[in-house]
Amino acid sequence: MSDAPIYHLALVRDWEAARATGQYAVSTLGRTLEEEGFIHASRADQWAGVRERFYAGVTEPLVLLVIDPSRLAAEVRDEPVPGLTETFPHVYGPIEVEAVVEVRGLPAEPSQ
């Protein structure tokens, strides 16, 4: 895995809860790290597609977490995803708040 940042889409309320506890443990929309076994992440060229495919109907405020993998205690694995030809980074443990180097507010998607 490279030292390039990885990205994770998060509900603002989940990120705020993580800031209070020091660790983020939501795998993906509606699923926890404990339920999924890892946290889904993306590379820079992937997160917009993930938002479009999996978060299109979300009306709650979202943020994009920019994560420095070298600051994570957990292992990051670049793995294939069933049904797709590309791989995605998966974080096999919680994301420490200190590993998040930037939090980008995302504008609401236009209604379709």
For every residue of 61-101, DSSP letters joined together read -EEEEEE-GGG-SS-EEEEE-TT-SSEEEEESSPEEGGGEE
Indicate whether 98 belongs to any domain. yes
Domain that holds residue 72: 6-106
Work out the average pLDDT over 3-24.
96
What's the whole-number average pLDDT of the chain? 93
Q: How confident is the model at residue 2 (pLDDT cuts 50, 70, 90)?
A: low
Structure tokens at 50: 């993930």
Indicate whether 112 belongs to any domain. no
- CATH number of residue 22's parent domain: 3.20.170.20
Per-residue pLDDT at 112 = 46
Indicate whether 111 belongs to any domain. no
CA 13 distance to own-chain centroid: 14
Is 106 a residue whose pLDDT tops 80? Answer: yes
The lowest-confidence range among 50-59, 85-94, 102-111 is 102-111
Indicate whether 1 belongs to any domain. no
Is 8 a residue whose pLDDT tops 60? Answer: yes
